Copies of this chain bind each other. A is one copy, B any other.
Amino acid sequence: MVTASKDITHLLSEEARSRRPSPLKTAFKYFGNPDIVFLGGGLPLSDYFPWNKVTAHSPAVPFSKGIGAVPVTEEDALVIDLHKKKEFLENADDIELSRALQYGYTEGQHELMKFLKEHTELIHKLPYEDWGCVATIGNTQAWDAVLRTFCDKGDTILVEEFTFSSALETANALGITQFPVPMDESGILPDKLEHLLDNWVGKKPKLLYIIPTGQNPTGSCLSVERRKAIYKVAQKHDFVIIEDEPYYFLQMETYTQDVAAREGKHVHSHEEFINALVTSFLHLDTEGRVIRLDSFSKVLAPGTRFGWIVAQNNILERFVRLHEVTIQCPSGFTQSIINGTLQRWGQSGYLDWLIGLRAEYTHKRDVAIDAVYKNFPLDVIKFTPPVAGMFFTISFDASKHPDFETKYGKDPLKVEEALYESGLQGGCLMIPGSWFKAVGQTEPPQPVEETDPESANWIFFRGTYAAVPLDKLQKGLENFGASAKKEYGL
Protein backbone atom coordinates (compact mmCIF):
# COMPACT_ATOMS: atom_id res chain seq x y z
CA MET A 1 0.00 0.00 0.00
CA VAL A 2 1.31 3.42 -0.93
CA THR A 3 1.21 5.87 1.96
CA ALA A 4 1.95 9.57 2.41
CA SER A 5 5.05 10.81 4.21
CA LYS A 6 5.08 11.82 7.85
CA ASP A 7 5.87 15.39 8.85
CA ILE A 8 9.49 15.44 10.07
CA THR A 9 10.00 19.20 9.91
CA HIS A 10 10.40 19.34 13.72
CA LEU A 11 13.82 17.78 13.08
CA LEU A 12 15.03 20.66 10.87
CA SER A 13 17.94 22.85 11.92
CA GLU A 14 17.59 26.49 12.85
CA GLU A 15 19.39 27.36 9.60
CA ALA A 16 16.92 25.36 7.48
CA ARG A 17 13.92 26.80 9.32
CA SER A 18 15.08 30.38 8.94
CA ARG A 19 15.47 30.39 5.16
CA ARG A 20 13.04 32.86 3.65
CA PRO A 21 11.88 32.87 0.07
CA SER A 22 13.45 35.70 -1.92
CA PRO A 23 11.11 38.59 -2.80
CA LEU A 24 12.60 38.42 -6.30
CA LYS A 25 10.94 35.02 -6.70
CA THR A 26 7.53 36.67 -6.74
CA ALA A 27 8.63 38.67 -9.79
CA PHE A 28 9.99 35.61 -11.58
CA LYS A 29 6.49 34.28 -12.10
CA TYR A 30 6.26 36.84 -14.93
CA PHE A 31 9.41 35.49 -16.61
CA GLY A 32 8.46 34.09 -20.00
CA ASN A 33 5.04 35.79 -19.97
CA PRO A 34 4.58 36.98 -23.58
CA ASP A 35 2.65 40.11 -22.50
CA ILE A 36 5.40 41.43 -20.25
CA VAL A 37 8.92 42.53 -21.15
CA PHE A 38 10.88 41.12 -18.24
CA LEU A 39 13.68 43.48 -17.23
CA GLY A 40 13.86 41.88 -13.79
CA GLY A 41 16.77 39.47 -13.91
CA GLY A 42 20.49 39.73 -14.58
CA LEU A 43 20.59 36.92 -17.09
CA PRO A 44 23.15 37.17 -19.87
CA LEU A 45 21.93 36.48 -23.39
CA SER A 46 22.83 32.99 -24.57
CA ASP A 47 24.04 34.57 -27.86
CA TYR A 48 27.22 35.36 -25.93
CA PHE A 49 27.82 31.85 -24.60
CA PRO A 50 30.95 30.84 -26.55
CA TRP A 51 29.94 27.22 -27.20
CA ASN A 52 27.67 26.49 -30.12
CA LYS A 53 27.79 22.75 -29.82
CA VAL A 54 29.33 20.11 -27.59
CA THR A 55 29.69 16.58 -28.89
CA ALA A 56 30.22 13.67 -26.50
CA HIS A 57 31.55 10.32 -27.73
CA SER A 58 30.30 7.37 -25.67
CA PRO A 59 30.11 3.62 -25.89
CA ALA A 60 26.80 2.37 -27.27
CA VAL A 61 24.35 -0.12 -25.79
CA PRO A 62 24.63 -3.10 -25.29
CA PHE A 63 28.37 -2.66 -24.57
CA SER A 64 29.01 -6.00 -26.15
CA LYS A 65 32.81 -5.81 -25.72
CA GLY A 66 32.50 -4.83 -22.05
CA ILE A 67 32.11 -1.43 -20.47
CA GLY A 68 35.86 -0.80 -20.43
CA ALA A 69 36.35 -1.32 -24.15
CA VAL A 70 37.17 1.65 -26.35
CA PRO A 71 34.52 1.88 -29.09
CA VAL A 72 36.07 1.42 -32.51
CA THR A 73 33.28 0.54 -34.90
CA GLU A 74 30.21 2.64 -35.63
CA GLU A 75 28.01 0.14 -33.81
CA ASP A 76 30.07 0.47 -30.65
CA ALA A 77 30.12 4.25 -30.62
CA LEU A 78 27.50 6.80 -29.77
CA VAL A 79 27.98 10.38 -30.99
CA ILE A 80 25.91 12.82 -28.96
CA ASP A 81 25.52 16.29 -30.47
CA LEU A 82 24.31 18.88 -28.00
CA HIS A 83 23.48 22.15 -29.74
CA LYS A 84 23.12 25.59 -28.26
CA LYS A 85 19.75 26.16 -29.87
CA LYS A 86 16.76 23.98 -29.16
CA GLU A 87 15.70 23.78 -32.82
CA PHE A 88 18.88 21.92 -33.76
CA LEU A 89 18.61 19.22 -31.08
CA GLU A 90 18.53 15.72 -32.52
CA ASN A 91 16.61 14.29 -29.56
CA ALA A 92 13.51 15.78 -27.94
CA ASP A 93 14.81 14.91 -24.49
CA ASP A 94 18.19 16.61 -24.94
CA ILE A 95 19.00 19.78 -23.03
CA GLU A 96 20.06 22.62 -25.35
CA LEU A 97 23.17 24.51 -24.21
CA SER A 98 21.37 27.86 -24.15
CA ARG A 99 19.28 26.44 -21.28
CA ALA A 100 21.90 24.18 -19.68
CA LEU A 101 24.37 27.07 -19.46
CA GLN A 102 21.85 29.68 -18.25
CA TYR A 103 20.85 30.44 -14.66
CA GLY A 104 18.00 28.57 -13.06
CA TYR A 105 16.90 24.99 -12.56
CA THR A 106 18.22 24.61 -9.02
CA GLU A 107 16.39 21.28 -8.73
CA GLY A 108 18.33 19.95 -11.72
CA GLN A 109 17.28 19.98 -15.39
CA HIS A 110 13.84 18.47 -15.89
CA GLU A 111 14.77 15.80 -18.48
CA LEU A 112 17.61 14.40 -16.39
CA MET A 113 15.72 14.50 -13.09
CA LYS A 114 12.78 12.73 -14.74
CA PHE A 115 15.13 9.98 -15.94
CA LEU A 116 16.58 9.64 -12.44
CA LYS A 117 13.19 9.57 -10.77
CA GLU A 118 12.08 6.77 -13.11
CA HIS A 119 15.34 4.92 -12.44
CA THR A 120 14.88 5.33 -8.68
CA GLU A 121 11.32 3.97 -8.89
CA LEU A 122 12.51 1.04 -11.01
CA ILE A 123 15.18 0.04 -8.50
CA HIS A 124 13.74 1.02 -5.11
CA LYS A 125 9.94 0.93 -5.51
CA LEU A 126 9.25 3.44 -2.75
CA PRO A 127 6.28 2.69 -0.51
CA TYR A 128 5.09 6.29 -0.16
CA GLU A 129 3.92 8.81 -2.71
CA ASP A 130 5.23 12.32 -2.18
CA TRP A 131 8.91 11.83 -2.89
CA GLY A 132 11.28 13.22 -5.45
CA CYS A 133 14.89 13.84 -6.46
CA VAL A 134 16.98 17.00 -6.26
CA ALA A 135 20.35 17.43 -7.99
CA THR A 136 23.54 17.78 -5.95
CA ILE A 137 27.17 18.05 -6.91
CA GLY A 138 27.99 14.71 -5.35
CA ASN A 139 27.51 13.02 -2.01
CA THR A 140 30.20 15.04 -0.24
CA GLN A 141 28.26 18.23 -0.93
CA ALA A 142 24.96 16.46 -0.28
CA TRP A 143 26.17 15.33 3.15
CA ASP A 144 27.21 18.87 4.05
CA ALA A 145 23.74 20.02 2.93
CA VAL A 146 22.11 17.33 5.09
CA LEU A 147 24.04 18.46 8.16
CA ARG A 148 23.10 22.10 7.56
CA THR A 149 19.47 21.12 7.02
CA PHE A 150 19.06 19.02 10.15
CA CYS A 151 21.75 19.82 12.69
CA ASP A 152 22.62 22.77 14.87
CA LYS A 153 25.99 23.25 16.46
CA GLY A 154 26.27 21.00 19.50
CA ASP A 155 23.93 18.34 18.12
CA THR A 156 24.97 14.70 18.06
CA ILE A 157 24.61 12.33 15.12
CA LEU A 158 24.92 8.57 15.02
CA VAL A 159 27.61 7.08 12.79
CA GLU A 160 29.04 3.64 12.14
CA GLU A 161 31.93 2.79 14.46
CA PHE A 162 34.27 2.81 11.44
CA THR A 163 33.27 5.16 8.68
CA PHE A 164 34.35 7.52 5.88
CA SER A 165 36.67 9.91 7.70
CA SER A 166 35.91 12.84 5.40
CA ALA A 167 32.23 12.62 6.37
CA LEU A 168 33.23 12.85 10.04
CA GLU A 169 35.41 15.86 9.28
CA THR A 170 32.47 17.66 7.65
CA ALA A 171 30.49 17.22 10.85
CA ASN A 172 33.42 18.07 13.15
CA ALA A 173 33.98 21.50 11.65
CA LEU A 174 30.26 22.30 11.99
CA GLY A 175 30.51 21.56 15.71
CA ILE A 176 28.42 18.40 15.42
CA THR A 177 29.40 15.49 17.66
CA GLN A 178 29.47 11.93 16.34
CA PHE A 179 28.42 8.95 18.38
CA PRO A 180 29.78 5.65 17.01
CA VAL A 181 27.38 2.71 16.84
CA PRO A 182 29.04 -0.70 17.41
CA MET A 183 29.60 -2.87 14.31
CA ASP A 184 30.58 -6.42 13.53
CA GLU A 185 31.85 -7.70 10.19
CA SER A 186 28.33 -7.38 8.76
CA GLY A 187 27.74 -3.76 9.73
CA ILE A 188 26.11 -2.00 12.66
CA LEU A 189 24.20 -3.99 15.24
CA PRO A 190 20.51 -3.01 15.53
CA ASP A 191 20.11 -4.28 19.10
CA LYS A 192 23.13 -2.28 20.26
CA LEU A 193 21.72 0.77 18.47
CA GLU A 194 18.38 0.36 20.22
CA HIS A 195 19.99 -0.17 23.61
CA LEU A 196 22.04 2.95 23.09
CA LEU A 197 19.02 5.09 22.34
CA ASP A 198 16.81 3.55 25.03
CA ASN A 199 19.40 4.73 27.54
CA TRP A 200 20.34 8.00 25.85
CA VAL A 201 21.08 10.98 28.10
CA GLY A 202 20.21 14.49 26.87
CA LYS A 203 19.08 15.67 23.43
CA LYS A 204 18.64 12.71 21.14
CA PRO A 205 20.44 12.39 17.81
CA LYS A 206 18.38 13.55 14.85
CA LEU A 207 20.08 11.36 12.32
CA LEU A 208 22.05 8.21 11.58
CA TYR A 209 24.69 8.43 8.87
CA ILE A 210 25.22 5.05 7.27
CA ILE A 211 26.91 3.56 4.19
CA PRO A 212 24.88 0.34 4.05
CA THR A 213 26.23 -1.22 0.84
CA GLY A 214 29.94 -1.71 0.26
CA GLN A 215 30.60 0.13 3.49
CA ASN A 216 33.63 2.39 3.68
CA PRO A 217 36.04 1.26 5.11
CA THR A 218 34.90 -2.24 6.10
CA GLY A 219 33.47 -3.34 2.74
CA SER A 220 30.51 -4.95 4.50
CA CYS A 221 26.94 -5.04 3.20
CA LEU A 222 24.10 -4.69 5.66
CA SER A 223 21.50 -7.49 5.50
CA VAL A 224 17.82 -6.79 4.86
CA GLU A 225 16.99 -8.04 8.37
CA ARG A 226 19.33 -5.51 9.93
CA ARG A 227 18.01 -2.74 7.71
CA LYS A 228 14.46 -3.54 8.80
CA ALA A 229 15.45 -3.61 12.46
CA ILE A 230 17.35 -0.31 12.18
CA TYR A 231 14.37 1.33 10.47
CA LYS A 232 12.18 0.27 13.41
CA VAL A 233 14.62 1.89 15.84
CA ALA A 234 14.50 5.06 13.72
CA GLN A 235 10.71 5.09 14.03
CA LYS A 236 10.83 4.40 17.76
CA HIS A 237 13.41 7.08 18.49
CA ASP A 238 12.32 9.50 15.74
CA PHE A 239 15.54 9.98 13.80
CA VAL A 240 16.29 10.27 10.09
CA ILE A 241 18.38 7.66 8.25
CA ILE A 242 20.88 9.12 5.80
CA GLU A 243 21.87 6.32 3.45
CA ASP A 244 25.01 7.37 1.60
CA GLU A 245 25.02 4.94 -1.32
CA PRO A 246 27.72 5.69 -3.89
CA TYR A 247 28.68 2.00 -4.09
CA TYR A 248 25.15 0.58 -4.35
CA PHE A 249 25.57 -0.60 -7.95
CA LEU A 250 28.96 -2.09 -7.24
CA GLN A 251 27.23 -5.19 -5.91
CA MET A 252 28.87 -8.43 -6.97
CA GLU A 253 28.35 -12.15 -7.14
CA THR A 254 29.33 -14.00 -3.95
CA TYR A 255 32.96 -15.06 -3.95
CA THR A 256 33.90 -18.63 -4.58
CA GLN A 257 37.41 -20.08 -4.67
CA ASP A 258 36.18 -22.49 -7.32
CA VAL A 259 37.18 -20.69 -10.51
CA ALA A 260 35.09 -22.96 -12.72
CA ALA A 261 31.92 -22.10 -10.78
CA ARG A 262 32.32 -18.36 -11.25
CA GLU A 263 31.08 -18.01 -14.81
CA GLY A 264 27.69 -19.54 -14.04
CA LYS A 265 27.00 -17.02 -11.31
CA HIS A 266 26.72 -13.89 -13.42
CA VAL A 267 23.38 -12.12 -13.67
CA HIS A 268 22.15 -11.64 -17.22
CA SER A 269 18.64 -10.21 -17.46
CA HIS A 270 17.50 -6.86 -16.07
CA GLU A 271 15.04 -8.64 -13.82
CA GLU A 272 17.74 -10.93 -12.42
CA PHE A 273 19.95 -7.89 -11.87
CA ILE A 274 17.32 -5.85 -10.02
CA ASN A 275 16.27 -8.81 -7.91
CA ALA A 276 19.88 -9.49 -6.93
CA LEU A 277 20.29 -5.99 -5.47
CA VAL A 278 20.05 -5.69 -1.72
CA THR A 279 16.88 -3.98 -0.41
CA SER A 280 17.55 -0.31 0.26
CA PHE A 281 16.38 1.70 3.24
CA LEU A 282 14.38 3.70 0.71
CA HIS A 283 12.35 0.63 -0.15
CA LEU A 284 11.52 0.08 3.52
CA ASP A 285 10.63 3.71 4.14
CA THR A 286 6.88 4.00 4.68
CA GLU A 287 7.16 7.37 6.43
CA GLY A 288 9.66 9.46 4.45
CA ARG A 289 12.35 9.36 7.14
CA VAL A 290 15.09 8.06 4.85
CA ILE A 291 17.23 10.44 2.85
CA ARG A 292 19.23 8.71 0.16
CA LEU A 293 22.40 10.24 -1.25
CA ASP A 294 23.01 8.92 -4.75
CA SER A 295 25.85 9.74 -7.08
CA PHE A 296 27.38 9.03 -10.47
CA SER A 297 30.89 9.17 -9.02
CA LYS A 298 31.39 5.40 -8.88
CA VAL A 299 29.17 4.33 -11.79
CA LEU A 300 30.00 6.98 -14.42
CA ALA A 301 32.79 9.31 -13.22
CA PRO A 302 33.60 11.31 -10.06
CA GLY A 303 34.46 14.47 -12.01
CA THR A 304 30.90 14.78 -13.28
CA ARG A 305 30.26 16.29 -9.84
CA PHE A 306 26.68 15.18 -10.12
CA GLY A 307 24.56 13.38 -7.59
CA TRP A 308 21.01 13.50 -6.29
CA ILE A 309 19.11 13.33 -3.06
CA VAL A 310 15.99 11.16 -2.81
CA ALA A 311 13.61 12.21 -0.02
CA GLN A 312 10.09 13.37 0.72
CA ASN A 313 9.19 16.53 -1.23
CA ASN A 314 8.62 18.63 1.85
CA ILE A 315 12.23 18.11 2.92
CA LEU A 316 13.61 18.42 -0.62
CA GLU A 317 12.16 21.94 -0.74
CA ARG A 318 14.52 22.91 2.10
CA PHE A 319 17.48 21.55 0.11
CA VAL A 320 16.44 23.59 -2.92
CA ARG A 321 16.33 26.77 -0.78
CA LEU A 322 19.82 25.94 0.53
CA HIS A 323 21.17 25.25 -2.96
CA GLU A 324 19.74 28.55 -4.26
CA VAL A 325 22.10 30.46 -1.98
CA THR A 326 25.10 28.09 -2.23
CA ILE A 327 25.81 25.78 -5.19
CA GLN A 328 22.81 26.86 -7.33
CA CYS A 329 22.98 23.65 -9.41
CA PRO A 330 25.42 21.22 -11.02
CA SER A 331 27.34 22.30 -14.13
CA GLY A 332 25.27 22.68 -17.28
CA PHE A 333 27.87 20.83 -19.36
CA THR A 334 27.64 17.92 -16.93
CA GLN A 335 23.86 17.87 -17.00
CA SER A 336 23.59 18.18 -20.76
CA ILE A 337 26.21 15.48 -21.45
CA ILE A 338 24.99 12.99 -18.85
CA ASN A 339 21.40 13.52 -19.93
CA GLY A 340 22.30 13.14 -23.61
CA THR A 341 24.06 9.87 -22.81
CA LEU A 342 21.36 8.42 -20.57
CA GLN A 343 18.47 9.44 -22.86
CA ARG A 344 20.14 7.53 -25.70
CA TRP A 345 20.96 4.52 -23.55
CA GLY A 346 17.47 4.53 -22.05
CA GLN A 347 16.55 2.97 -18.70
CA SER A 348 17.25 -0.43 -20.21
CA GLY A 349 20.67 0.56 -21.60
CA TYR A 350 21.64 2.11 -18.27
CA LEU A 351 20.85 -1.22 -16.59
CA ASP A 352 23.07 -2.89 -19.20
CA TRP A 353 25.87 -0.50 -18.18
CA LEU A 354 25.35 -1.32 -14.50
CA ILE A 355 25.32 -5.06 -15.24
CA GLY A 356 28.63 -4.58 -17.07
CA LEU A 357 30.00 -2.76 -14.05
CA ARG A 358 28.88 -5.60 -11.79
CA ALA A 359 30.81 -8.09 -13.92
CA GLU A 360 33.96 -5.93 -13.89
CA TYR A 361 33.93 -5.45 -10.14
CA THR A 362 33.15 -9.09 -9.49
CA HIS A 363 36.21 -10.06 -11.50
CA LYS A 364 38.44 -7.52 -9.76
CA ARG A 365 37.20 -8.60 -6.35
CA ASP A 366 37.88 -12.24 -7.28
CA VAL A 367 41.44 -11.44 -8.32
CA ALA A 368 42.02 -9.56 -5.05
CA ILE A 369 40.60 -12.27 -2.80
CA ASP A 370 42.45 -15.02 -4.72
CA ALA A 371 45.65 -13.05 -4.10
CA VAL A 372 44.88 -12.74 -0.38
CA TYR A 373 44.36 -16.49 -0.10
CA LYS A 374 47.58 -17.08 -1.98
CA ASN A 375 49.87 -14.56 -0.27
CA PHE A 376 48.66 -13.66 3.21
CA PRO A 377 49.46 -15.44 6.50
CA LEU A 378 46.09 -17.18 6.83
CA ASP A 379 46.72 -18.33 10.40
CA VAL A 380 46.77 -14.80 11.85
CA ILE A 381 44.14 -13.11 9.68
CA LYS A 382 40.44 -13.21 9.01
CA PHE A 383 38.46 -11.63 6.21
CA THR A 384 35.06 -11.72 4.54
CA PRO A 385 35.12 -11.49 0.75
CA PRO A 386 33.01 -8.41 0.05
CA VAL A 387 29.80 -8.55 -1.97
CA ALA A 388 29.63 -4.82 -2.67
CA GLY A 389 31.76 -1.74 -3.08
CA MET A 390 35.39 -0.97 -3.81
CA PHE A 391 36.96 -2.12 -0.57
CA PHE A 392 38.06 -5.26 1.18
CA THR A 393 39.49 -5.50 4.66
CA ILE A 394 41.97 -7.93 6.15
CA SER A 395 41.92 -8.27 9.93
CA PHE A 396 45.06 -9.32 11.79
CA ASP A 397 45.25 -10.85 15.26
CA ALA A 398 47.75 -8.47 16.82
CA SER A 399 48.22 -10.76 19.82
CA LYS A 400 49.82 -13.37 17.57
CA HIS A 401 52.59 -10.98 16.58
CA PRO A 402 55.83 -12.30 18.16
CA ASP A 403 56.62 -8.87 19.65
CA PHE A 404 53.08 -8.13 20.86
CA GLU A 405 53.75 -8.53 24.59
CA THR A 406 57.33 -7.30 24.49
CA LYS A 407 58.23 -4.54 22.03
CA TYR A 408 54.60 -3.40 21.51
CA GLY A 409 53.45 -3.59 25.14
CA LYS A 410 50.21 -5.39 24.17
CA ASP A 411 49.12 -2.37 22.13
CA PRO A 412 47.38 -3.60 18.94
CA LEU A 413 47.74 -0.13 17.36
CA LYS A 414 51.52 -0.52 17.50
CA VAL A 415 51.24 -3.74 15.55
CA GLU A 416 48.99 -1.95 13.06
CA GLU A 417 51.63 0.72 12.59
CA ALA A 418 54.39 -1.86 12.16
CA LEU A 419 52.36 -3.71 9.50
CA TYR A 420 51.59 -0.45 7.67
CA GLU A 421 55.26 0.51 7.60
CA SER A 422 56.48 -2.91 6.56
CA GLY A 423 53.84 -2.96 3.80
CA LEU A 424 55.19 0.34 2.51
CA GLN A 425 58.74 -1.02 2.66
CA GLY A 426 57.59 -4.07 0.75
CA GLY A 427 55.92 -1.93 -1.92
CA CYS A 428 52.21 -1.84 -1.12
CA LEU A 429 50.04 0.67 0.69
CA MET A 430 46.85 -0.32 2.49
CA ILE A 431 45.11 1.97 4.98
CA PRO A 432 45.13 1.14 8.72
CA GLY A 433 41.58 0.62 10.01
CA SER A 434 42.12 2.83 13.06
CA TRP A 435 42.27 5.85 10.72
CA PHE A 436 38.53 5.42 10.15
CA LYS A 437 37.49 5.06 13.75
CA ALA A 438 34.82 7.51 14.87
CA VAL A 439 35.58 9.09 18.20
CA GLY A 440 32.50 9.28 20.38
CA GLN A 441 31.20 11.99 22.62
CA THR A 442 31.66 11.81 26.37
CA GLU A 443 29.39 14.64 27.55
CA PRO A 444 26.67 13.99 28.67
CA PRO A 445 27.72 10.40 29.51
CA GLN A 446 26.21 7.94 27.01
CA PRO A 447 26.14 4.18 27.47
CA VAL A 448 29.52 2.82 26.43
CA GLU A 449 29.80 -0.58 24.86
CA GLU A 450 32.06 -2.94 26.77
CA THR A 451 34.84 -4.14 24.54
CA ASP A 452 35.07 -7.85 23.95
CA PRO A 453 38.63 -8.63 25.18
CA GLU A 454 39.18 -11.11 22.37
CA SER A 455 38.13 -8.78 19.51
CA ALA A 456 40.09 -5.90 21.04
CA ASN A 457 43.32 -7.45 19.78
CA TRP A 458 42.19 -7.49 16.16
CA ILE A 459 43.25 -4.70 13.86
CA PHE A 460 42.45 -4.33 10.17
CA PHE A 461 43.63 -2.86 6.89
CA ARG A 462 41.51 -1.49 4.08
CA GLY A 463 42.47 -2.16 0.49
CA THR A 464 40.74 -1.47 -2.79
CA TYR A 465 40.55 -3.56 -5.95
CA ALA A 466 38.99 -0.63 -7.85
CA ALA A 467 41.83 1.74 -8.51
CA VAL A 468 44.58 -0.33 -10.12
CA PRO A 469 44.84 -2.71 -13.09
CA LEU A 470 44.74 -6.42 -12.26
CA ASP A 471 48.47 -7.13 -12.60
CA LYS A 472 49.33 -4.34 -10.19
CA LEU A 473 46.62 -5.48 -7.81
CA GLN A 474 48.12 -8.98 -7.70
CA LYS A 475 51.63 -7.63 -7.31
CA GLY A 476 50.59 -5.27 -4.51
CA LEU A 477 48.85 -7.98 -2.51
CA GLU A 478 51.80 -10.31 -3.02
CA ASN A 479 54.01 -7.57 -1.56
CA PHE A 480 51.77 -6.80 1.39
CA GLY A 481 51.26 -10.49 2.16
CA ALA A 482 55.00 -11.12 2.10
CA SER A 483 55.67 -8.14 4.38
CA ALA A 484 53.02 -9.28 6.84
CA LYS A 485 54.43 -12.81 6.90
CA LYS A 486 57.85 -11.39 7.60
CA GLU A 487 56.46 -9.21 10.43
CA TYR A 488 54.83 -12.26 12.00
CA GLY A 489 57.98 -14.32 11.51
CA LEU A 490 56.11 -16.72 9.22
Contacts and interface: CB of A to CB of B under 8 A. Distances in A.
Interface string A316-340: 0000001011111111111001000
A200 interface: no
Contact of A39 (B141, B429, B469): B429
A46 B301 CA distance: 8
A5 to B, nearest CB: 24
A477 B39 CA distance: 9
29 contacts: A18-B173, A18-B175, A37-B473, A37-B475, A38-B476, A39-B428, A39-B468, A39-B477, A39-B480, A42-B216, A42-B391, A42-B464, A43-B466, A47-B68, A48-B357, A50-B59, A50-B67, A51-B56, A54-B56, A54-B337, A55-B55, A102-B301, A137-B327, A140-B327, A141-B327, A166-B324, A173-B325, A303-B331, A304-B333
A50 B353 contact: yes
A429 B34 CA distance: 12
Number of copies of chain A assembled together: 2
Interface string A264-306: 0000000000000000000000000000000001101111111
A479 B37 contact: yes
Closest 6 CB pairs of A and B: A303-B332, A37-B476, A331-B331, A101-B303, A101-B301, A47-B68
A58 interface: yes
A302 B45 CA distance: 10
A476 B18 CA distance: 36
Contacts of A56: 51, 53-55
Given A68-B48, A325-B170, A24 B431 contact: yes
A229 interface: no
A13 B381 CA distance: 46
B429 A464 contact: no
A40 B137 contact: no
Interface in A47-71: 47-59, 67-68, 70-71
B328 A140 contact: yes
Contacts of A469: 45
A424 interface: yes
Nearest to A335: B303
A341 interface: yes
A417 interface: no
A218 to B, nearest CB: 13
A130 interface: no
A424 B29 CA distance: 12
Given A19-B169, A101-B303, A141-B327, 5 more contacts: A39-B468, A40-B464, A55-B55, A144-B326, A305-B330
Contacts of A216: 42
Interface string A460-486: 000111111100110111011000000
A400 interface: no
Contacts of A47: 68
Contact of A58 (B51, B429, B477): B51
Given A140-B325, A173-B15, A50 B341 contact: yes
Interface in A98-141: 100-103, 137-138, 140-141
B141 A35 contact: no
Contacts of A327: 137-138, 140-141, 305, 327
A359 to B, nearest CB: 11
A280 to B, nearest CB: 20
Query: Interface residues of A toward B: which range?
Result: 35 or more
Interface string A393-414: 0000000000000000000000
Contacts of A329: 303, 305
B303 A100 contact: yes
Contacts of A50: 58-59, 67, 300-301, 341, 353
A431 B52 CA distance: 32
A165 interface: yes
Contacts of A51: 56-58, 301, 337, 341
Contacts of A153: 153
B174 A15 contact: yes
Given A39-B467, A153-B153, A331-B333, A70 B52 contact: yes
Interface centre among A165, A298, A301, A428 (most CB of B within 10 A): A301
B337 A334 contact: no
Contacts of A324: 166
Nearest to A306: B331
From A325, A427, A466, residue with most partner B Cβ within 10 Å? A325
Contacts of A302: 43-44, 101-103
